[in-house]
C-alpha cells in the first residue's frame, strides 16, 4: 500500500474524553494573567496606585515597589502551579522568544526556596548573540537586555507537566537600542499620543490626558491533517507547498466561506478560545474563510500593544492546539497555489482615555469637524508614506499574496465609502451643502451632512479601507507580527496629525476656528486626493490609473524594504523618536537577509524534493510504461498479437511525455541550483534581487513540470500528499 493511502487509515477522530466541560467564560476570563484585578488583591494600596501611575503617567516605581510586585507575582504564579519564569520577548525573527529560569534559590547546603526579586522582574539578560541584530550589536558585545513591559500583564503558559510564568518584556542592546519589535511599537504609541493630544487640545479637549492606538487583527489560517503535513517536506521546511497540482475542485463552488464548521475544526476552535480566554485574549469571531480548509479568528479590539502580544500568543496557541487535534495550523501567507492565501486584516483606530474613538464621526457639528481633521490626517499619512506602509508588509510569504486576485495589490490606496467621498468632494470644490434636509447639520459656515455609519458600504479590495469608525489595513500577512505595521501606521499618522494641527493653528489665528478647520480639511483632502480610490483594486484599470497618479507599485520585497533607508523616512522615525537611524537601517538589513534565507531554504527544499520525491516515482512510472510497451511489442512479435499502430504510437507518446517531463524537471532544477551556487558570494541586496528576478521564476517553472508529472504518474507511485487530499479529506 502506498504511503499516502496508509495516512487515509490513520485519520480518525481525536479522543476528547478528557477535555474540560463547558464553563461560563466570564468566570475564568483572564484567570492565567496577573492583571489589574489579581494585582489589586495582593498588593498594598500604595504599590498598586504607584503601579497604575506608572502606566498612566510614566512615573517609574521604586525598587522596593518592584520587589513587592515580584514577590506577589511569584506567589500568585506558584499558587497556580508555576515553577519557572521567563522574560517573554519579540526579537526580530517575527516570533517570540523565551529563556526559562526556575524560581529556586539556595538558602543552605542542599536546601532551596522559591524566590523572585524586583530586579529579576525588571531586567533579564539573555545572551543576545544568536538573535538577528542587523549590525546594531557587535558579537563581542553580545549582551542584550530584556526589560519588563508593565503595560502587558504577565501570564501563565500551561503544558501537561508544568506551568511557566511569562513576563512580557522589551529587548534592547547594551546601549539601549531596540533589538525587538515591541519597543518601537511602544515608542510609536507615545509619538501618536503627543501628536493627537496636540490636536485635541486645539479642539478644546483639555481634559484628555492620553490617546493611544487600538487594534483588532483578524487572523486567517489553514488547518490540515497532521499525517499529510508530515509527508510534505515543503510544508515542514517552508510552510507552503512548493509543488502540488491543483485539485479539480478548489474554491470555485464558493461553498466554504461562512459555511457550517466541521466537527473536527469546531472542536479545535473551542479549545483555542478556551485557552485564549484564560490568557485574557478576547477572541470573538470565528468562521470558515474562502479557501477549502481555511478559517479565521478575530478578537475584540484592544490597545495596540496588548493586541500585538495577544496576536502572537494566539498564533502560538493555534499551532499548539491544532496538534492536539491531530492537525497542523498553517499561518503562511500562501500555503497552496491557486487558491486564496491568508492575511491578517489589521483594524486600527485611535482612542482617548475617556473612551472616545477619534475616528467615530460623532453626533454634533464640532465632533464632525474634529473627525474630519483626523480623517484627513490619515489620508495624508497614507498619501505621503505609502512606501513605508508597503515596507511594513514586505516579506517573502506576502510576495505570493499581494495582488494575487485575493489580496490588495502592492499599490497603497484608501477607500472611504460613498458618503465621505461626497463630503470631501464638496469641501474640495468649495461647494456648500444645499438645503437643510433631515440629517444635514448647519455649521453656520455652510452645511455638512450628518454622517451615518454605513456598514454595508465595504470595499474588500482596498488595502486601507475606512469601515465606519476605524481603518482596516488589509495587506498585512497572516504570519506577520503586527507590531511593525502598527508602529509604522502610528508614526506616519502622528506626523500628519501634527501637520494638520499646525495648519489649523495658522489658519485660525484671529479667525473663526470652525471655518479654519473646514478650510484645512478641504486643502488636505485636495492635496491627497490621489490616494483615494473607491473602485476595484484588483482591476487592470486601477493598475493603469495608479500609474498615471504616480502611486508606487512595488512587487519585490527587497525593493519595498528600501523605503526604510530613504533619508526622509529615517528623519521621520528619528524626529518622532520611534527608531534611530541605526535601528531602522539594521531592520532593513535583517529583513533583506531574512528574505534571502527564506528563498534559499525554499530553493534547497525544492531541489531535495525533486531528487528524492519527484524524480524517483517518475522513474518508476517511466519504467512501468517502458516495460509495458516492451512487453506489448514482444507479444506482437512472438504471438502476432493484433495491435493498431495508433495504439502503439499512443503508448510511445505517453512514454516520451514522461521522459521529457522528467528531463525538464531535472534540467531546470540543475540550472536553478547552479545559479544558487553563484549567488553565494553576492551581498544580501544583490542576492535578494537575483532571487526575486531569477530564482523565483525558476521555482515556478519547475513546479509547473512537477505538477504535470503528478498528473500522469500513477497514484500508487506518488508519495507526496495531493491537494485533493490535504484540502478536502476531513
Minimum separation from the CB atom of position 282 to ligand ADP (A): 8
Q: Which is nearer to Mg ion, 218 or 498 (CB)?
A: 218
Q: Is residue 387 a contact residue for Mg ion (CB under 5 A)?
A: no
Instruction: For residue 224, give the 3-state DSSP assignment.
Output: strand
34 contact, one of ligand ADP, Mg ion, none, CB 5-8 Å limit per kind? none
Q: What burial class does residue 664 get, using C-beta atoms within 10 Å of its C-beta: 0-12 exposed, 13-18 middle, 19+ buried?
A: middle
| Segment lying near Mg ion (by CB under 5 A), choices 93-101, 213-221, 385-393, 626-634 | 213-221
DSSP secondary structure letters along 380-441? HHHHHTHHHHHHHT-SHHHHTTBTSSSB--SB--EE--HHHHHHHHHHHTTPPPPS--TTEE
Q: In a 3-state reduction of DSSP, which class is residue 271?
A: helix
Taking the complex as a whole, the smallest distance from the CB of residue 296 to Mg ion amounts, in Å, to: 6
Choose which of 149, 180, 218, 333 interacts with ligand ADP (CB under 6 A).
218
Q: Kindly state the smallest distance separating residue 290's Cβ from Mg ion, in Å.
A: 11
Based on the shown chain and the rule CB under 6 A, indicate whether residue 298 belongs to the binding site for ligand ADP.
yes
Does residue 348 bind ligand ADP (CB under 6 A)? yes
Would you say 25 or 104 has its CB closer to ligand ADP?
A: 25
CB of residue 279 to ligand ADP, shortest distance in Å: 17
Query: Which helix (H) or strand (E) is 65 found in, with range?
Result: helix 63-79
Residues in CB range of 447: below 8 A, 6 or more apart = 432, 433, 434, 435, 436, 440, 441
Partnered with residue 328 across adjacent β-strands are 224
Query: Which cell numbers in the block locate residue 567?
Result: 533619508
Q: Which does 356 bind (CB under 5 to 8 A by kind): Mg ion, ligand ADP, none?
A: none
Q: At closest approach, how far in Å is the CB of 218 from Mg ion?
A: 4
Decide if residue 285 touches ligand ADP (CB under 6 A). yes
Site for Mg ion (CB under 5 A): how many residues? 1
Nearer to ligand ADP, 301 or 542 (CB): 301
Phi and psi at 399, nearest 5°, equal -60, -30
Residue whose C-alpha is closest to residue 85's, from 157, 173, 186, 185:
157
HEC string of 503-527? HHHHHHCCCCHHHHHHHHHHHHHHH
Site map 187..216 versus ligand ADP, x via CB under 6 A? ---------------------------xxx
Q: Which grid coordinates are listed for 84?
A: 519557572
Which of 188, 251, 312, 349 binds ligand ADP (CB under 6 A)? It is: 349
- Please report how close the Cβ of residue 498 comes to ligand ADP at its closest, in angstroms: 22
314 belongs to the binding site for ligand ADP (CB under 6 A): no
- E-strand ranges in 291-375 read 294-299, 302-303, 327-330, 344-352
Q: Is 362 left (phi over 0), alpha (psi -120 to 50) or beta?
A: left
Q: Residue 132: what are its φ and ψ, rounded to 5°? A: -65, 130
Closer Cβ to ligand ADP, 348 or 573, answer by number = 348
Determine the distance from the C-alpha atom of residue 185 to the mean position of all C-alpha atoms in its chain, rounded to a whole number: 15
The region of 326-334, 346-354, 487-495, 550-558 touching ligand ADP under the rule CB under 6 A is 346-354
Contact status, residue 302 vs residue 270, Cβ threshold 8 Å: no
- Minimal distance in Å, beta carbon 681 to ligand ADP? 47
Do the beta carbons of residue 561 and residue 391 sit within 8 Å? yes
Strand runs (DSSP E) across 47-159, as ranges? Answer: 82-89, 97-102, 104-108, 111-114, 123-124, 144-148, 154-159
List beta partners, residue 441: 448
Question: Rule CB under 6 A: which of 459-518 touch ligand ADP?
Answer: 469-470, 472
Comparison of 94 and 216: residue with beta carbon closer to ligand ADP: 216
What separation, in Å, do the N-terminal and C-terminal C-alpha atoms of the chain show? Answer: 21
Of the candidate residues 71, 357, 508, 553, the single one contacting ligand ADP (CB under 6 A): 357
Q: Between residues 429 and 455, which has the closer beta carbon with respect to ligand ADP?
A: 455
Q: Cα-flanking dihedrals φ and ψ of residue 60, to 5°?
A: -65, 145
For β-strands 414-415 and 464-466, DSSP reports them as parallel
Alpha carbon 535 to chain centroid distance?
A: 25
| Least distance from ligand ADP to the Cβ atom of residue 301, Å | 3
Question: Contact with ligand ADP (CB under 6 A): which of 219, 251, 347, 398?
Answer: 347
Distance in angstroms (rounded) separating the CA atoms of residues 97 and 101: 13
x-marked contacts with Mg ion along 175-194 as a string, rule CB under 5 A: --------------------
Contact 622, 658 (CB under 8 A): yes
- Per the listing, cell 503508448 goes with 651
For residues 526-545, which are near Mg ion according to CB under 5 A? none
Picked from Mg ion, ligand ADP, none, the partner binding residue 71 (CB below 5 to 8 A depending on kind) is none
Number of helices followed by number of strands (H, E) in the chain? 26, 20
Residue 459 or 668 having the CB closest to ligand ADP: 459
CB of residue 402 to ligand ADP, shortest distance in Å: 18
User: Does residue 602 bind Mg ion (CB under 5 A)?
Assistant: no
Tell me: does residue 218 bind Mg ion (CB under 5 A): yes
Q: Which does 357 bind (CB under 5 to 8 A by kind): ligand ADP, Mg ion, none?
A: ligand ADP
Phi, psi of 213 (to 5 degrees): -85, 150
Task: Report the nearest approach of ligand ADP to the CB of residue 349 (Å).
Answer: 3
Gap between the Cα atoms of 464 and 348, Å rounded: 10
Q: Which of 300, 506, 653, 711 binds ligand ADP (CB under 6 A)?
A: 300
Among 126, 299, 335, 409, binds ligand ADP (CB under 6 A): 299
Which does residue 470 bind out of ligand ADP, Mg ion, none, counting CB within 5 to 8 angstroms by kind? ligand ADP
By rule CB under 6 A, what count of residues binds ligand ADP? Answer: 16
Residue that has been written with the C-alpha cell 460613498 in this structure: 418
Tell me the residue nearest to ligand ADP as measured from the CB. Answer: 216
CA dist 704 and 664 (Å) reads 10
Q: Are 290 and 204 in contact (CB under 8 A)?
A: no
Taking CB within 5 to 8 Å according to partner kind, which of Mg ion, ligand ADP, none is near residue 214? Answer: ligand ADP
Minimum distance, C-beta of residue 603 to Mg ion, in the bound complex (Å): 35
Which range in 239-247, 260-268, 318-326, 344-352 contacts ligand ADP by CB under 6 A?
A: 344-352
For binding to Mg ion (CB under 5 A), which residues are involved? 218
Which residues of the chain form contacts with ligand ADP (CB under 6 A)? 214-216, 218, 285, 298-301, 347-349, 357, 469-470, 472
Amino acid at each position: 500500500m502506498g504511503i499516502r493511502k496508509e495516512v487515509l487509515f490513520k485519520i480518525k477522530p481525536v479522543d476528547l474524553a478528557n477535555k474540560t466541560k463547558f464553563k461560563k467564560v466570564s468566570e475564568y476570563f483572564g484567570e492565567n494573567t496577573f492583571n489589574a484585578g489579581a494585582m489589586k488583591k495582593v498588593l498594598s494600596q500604595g504599590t498598586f496606585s504607584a503601579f497604575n501611575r506608572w502606566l498612566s503617567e510614566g512615573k517609574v516605581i521604586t525598587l522596593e515597589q518592584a520587589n513587592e510586585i515580584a514577590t506577589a507575582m511569584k506567589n500568585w504564579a506558584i499558587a497556580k502551579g508555576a515553577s519557572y519564569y521567563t522574560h517573554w520577548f519579540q526579537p526580530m525573527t517575527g516570533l517570540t522568544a523565551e529563556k526559562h529560569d526556575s524560581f529556586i534559590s539556595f538558602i543552605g547546603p542542599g536546601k532551596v526556596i522559591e524566590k523572585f526579586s524586583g530586579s529579576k522582574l525588571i531586567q533579564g539578560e539573555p545572551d543576545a548573540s544568536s538573535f538577528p541584530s542587523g549590525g546594531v550589536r557587535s558579537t563581542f558585545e553580545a549582551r542584550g537586555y530584556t526589560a519588563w513591559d508593565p503595560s502587558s500583564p504577565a501570564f501563565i503558559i500551561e503544558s501537561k507537566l508544568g506551568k511557566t510564568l511569562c513576563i512580557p518584556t522589551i529587548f534592547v542592546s547594551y546601549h539601549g537600542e531596540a533589538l525587538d519589535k515591541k519597543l518601537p511599537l511602544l515608542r510609536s504609541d507615545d509619538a501618536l499620543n503627543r501628536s493627537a493630544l496636540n490636536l485635541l487640545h486645539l479642539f478644546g479637549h483639555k481634559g484628555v490626558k492620553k490617546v493611544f492606538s487600538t487594534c483588532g487583527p483578524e487572523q486567517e489560517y489553514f488547518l490540515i491533517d497532521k499525517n499529510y503535513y508530515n509527508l510534505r517536506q515543503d510544508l515542514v521546511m517552508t510552510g507552503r507547498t512548493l509543488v502540488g497540482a491543483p485539485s479539480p475542485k478548489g474554491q470555485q463552488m464558493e461553498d466554504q466561506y461562512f459555511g457550517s464548521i466541521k466537527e473536527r475544526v469546531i472542536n479545535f476552535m473551542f479549545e483555542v478560545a478556551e485557552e485564549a480566554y484564560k490568557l485574557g485574549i478576547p477572541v470573538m469571531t470565528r468562521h470558515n474563510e474562502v479557501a477549502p480548509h481555511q478559517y479565521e479568528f478575530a478578537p475584540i479590539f484592544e490597545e495596540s500593544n496588548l493586541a500585538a502580544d495577544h496576536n502572537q500568543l494566539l498564533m502560538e496557541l493555534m499551532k499548539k492546539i491544532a496538534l492536539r487535534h491531530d492537525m497542523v495550523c498553517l499561518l503562511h501567507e500562501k500555503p497552496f497555489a491557486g487558491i486564496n492565501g491568508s492575511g491578517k486584516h489589521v483594524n486600527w483606530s485611535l482612542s482617548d482615555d475617556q473612551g472616545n474613538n477619534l475616528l467615530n464621526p460623532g453626533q454634533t457639528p464640532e465632533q464632525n469637524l474634529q473627525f474630519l481633521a483626523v480623517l484627513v490626517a490619515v489620508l495624508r499619512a497614507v498619501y505621503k508614506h505609502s512606501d513605508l506602509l508597503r515596507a511594513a508588509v514586505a516579506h517573502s510569504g506576502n510576495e505570493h499574496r499581494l495582488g494575487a486576485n485575493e489580496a490588495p495589490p502592492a499599490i497603497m490606496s484608501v477607500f472611504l465609502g460613498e458618503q465621505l467621498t461626497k463630503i470631501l468632494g464638496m469641501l474640495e470644490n468649495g461647494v456648500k451643502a444645499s438645503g437643510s434636509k433631515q440629517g444635514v447639520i448647519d455649521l453656520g459656515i455652510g452645511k455638512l451632512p450628518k454622517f451615518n455609519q454605513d456598514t454595508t458600504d465595504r470595499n474588500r479590495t482596498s488595502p486601507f479601507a475606512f469601515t465606519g469608525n476605524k481603518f482596516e489595513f488589509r495587506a498585512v500577512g497572516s504570519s506577520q507580527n503586527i507590531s511593525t505595521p502598527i508602529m509604522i501606521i502610528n508614526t506616519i499618522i502622528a506626523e500628519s496629525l501634527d501637520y494638520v494641527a499646525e495648519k489649523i493653528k495658522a489658519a485660525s489665528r484671529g479667525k473663526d476656528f470652525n471655518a479654519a478647520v473646514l478650510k484645512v480639511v478641504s486643502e488636505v483632502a485636495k492635496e491627497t486626493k490621489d490616494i483615494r480610490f473607491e473602485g476595484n483594486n484588483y482591476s487592470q484599470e486601477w493598475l493603469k490609473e495608479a500609474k498615471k497618479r504616480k502611486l508606487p507599485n512595488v512587487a519585490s520585497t527587497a525593493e519595498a524594504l528600501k523605503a526604510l533607508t530613504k533619508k526622509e523616512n529615517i528623519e521621520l522615525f528619528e524626529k518622532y523618536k520611534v527608531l534611530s537611524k541605526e535601528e531602522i537601517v539594521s531592520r532593513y538589513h535583517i529583513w533583506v537577509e531574512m528574505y534571502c534565507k527564506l528563498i534559499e531554504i525554499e530553493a534547497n527544499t525544492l531541489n531535495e524534493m525533486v531528487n528524492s520525491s519527484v524524480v524517483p516515482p517518475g522513474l518508476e512510472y517511466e519504467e512501468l510504461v517502458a516495460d509495458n510497451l516492451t512487453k506489448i511489442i514482444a507479444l506482437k512479435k512472438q504471438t502476432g498479437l493484433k495491435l493498431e499502430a495508433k495504439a502503439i504510437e499512443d503508448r510511445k507518446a505517453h512514454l516520451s511525455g514522461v521522459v521529457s517531463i522528467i528531463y525538464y524537471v531535472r534540467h531546470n532544477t540543475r540550472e536553478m541550483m547552479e545559479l544558487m551556487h553563484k549567488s553565494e558570494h553576492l551581498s544580501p541586496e544583490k542576492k535578494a534581487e537575483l532571487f526575486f528576478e531569477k530564482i523565483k521564476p525558476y521555482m515556478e517553472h519547475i513546479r509547473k513540470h512537477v505538477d504535470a508529472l503528478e498528473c500522469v504518474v500513477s497514484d500508487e507511485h506518488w508519495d507526496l500528499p495531493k491537494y485533493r487530499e490535504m484540502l478536502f479529506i476531513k
